[in-house]
A and B are shown apart, each in its own frame.
Chain A
Amino acid sequence: MTEETHIKWLERMEQDSRTKQQAFMNDIARRLKRPRTTEAPTHPYRGAPDYWQEFQWSSVERIDQFTANFQSAGGHVFRMADMDEAKAFIVNKANEMLARYILRQNVSELASLRLEEELADTRVSVWNTNLQEAWKARAAEADIGIVIADYAVAYTGSITVLSSADKGRSVSLLPTALIAIIPLERLKTRLGEVLIDFDEAGQSGLPAGIHFISGPSRSADIENDLTIGVHGPGIVFALLVG
């Protein structure tokens, strides 16, 4: 290896990449037998069919459908009137599962649950609150991860979590069990109602990780036999609150 620093190497690779990019695009245009397209072409088929874009469920239907879909994927759904009920559920669950360690997102809704006060025998950590901590390793040790969903989709039975400094991707991924709190107003009918927000946010407005979670981790790779919890959480609770 030469003495070239990594940064220098990346810069050199980028120069190379930009040159090749032009060659690629010119080659595509040549093969398509037309000049380069540099203006955004009219896209008459953008997104789902028209009939679908008008499709809406009532709040009750959204709850029912989300519940049915999430459960059929092997997840558990509970309906809560308010955050106090959610708190009671979490405390109960943690005791019942003999959870030793809980990791939660660093968001105010979860802080106000004051879980650490109720759970004497369980350590509760808050994601990314101490820069010295090896947070990924902590997440891997956690029995339960707790998140607030940014969105949920009834039609597919999905929870959406967006990453940020306070909302690590690992919190919904590495613990043995996942509890996701879904404020009812975030529960949409269709996937498209969530996705459109990402189009509107545009390149500069997106987090590094957008994750749709539709039940516990699963695999049917061994003789078609369904296994739950292959890599991600094997137990997932969705708490519909509101």
Chain B
Amino acid sequence: MKVSMFITCISDAVYPKVGEAMARLLARYGVQLEFPEVQTCCGQPAYNSGYWNEARQAALTILEAFEDSDFVIAPSGSCTGMLHHYPKLFQDDPINLAKAQNLQRKSYEFSQFMVQVLGVTDLGAVFPHKVTYHPSCHGTRILGIRDEPMQLMQNVKAMELVPLPFAEDCCGFGGTFAVKMSDISGAMVTEKSDHVLESEAEVLTGLDMGCLMNIAGNLRYRHKPVRVMHLAELLYEGVSGQ
């Protein structure tokens, strides 16, 4: 069985530790990941902005990268969600359409893979901190990821999971939206950080580095010492005692 890592461009370039944590966690269950080096970005920035030709260029590299994989795992609900849009990009291209549908079927976001595929909800992690969780929009609304992260977090020992007020509200990232409509996005992320601070959590976790980068950047700008980490990082830290 070929299980492949789709690192996503943001984790590749900025947050490689997320990919590392994911690989190490999966290795504990005997899942040997492979990493197709031809992969780049899912193409979402271009797709969302309406540049579908450019999105297709990125999508073709992804289709090629994972053509032979049996399972594809990404540390992002948003980028995995983008793979679900691929069929729309190749509506008039039957060969790539079939590949796109195939990729959609076999792609999983990290927490989905742990719970739905491996059937693992208790990783035996210990994480003695007060944690809050931001459910990213695309993971929740496109992929329907709601229970999986909760199951994974509820089984972490010594961790206090506190609710994030208005958790389901968007953090204002939205890719290029954060730059094009920067003041609206800024107001949204400020509100999101306010809610994080209101929760009094020491740690903010989630499943998407785009959103987490956005919130972390704002918290840091406001000199608020909340630690921000991907759930895979949190779990890995919890099992390895690092």
Asked if A and B form a direct contact in the complex, defined as CB atoms under 8 angstroms apart, the reply is: no
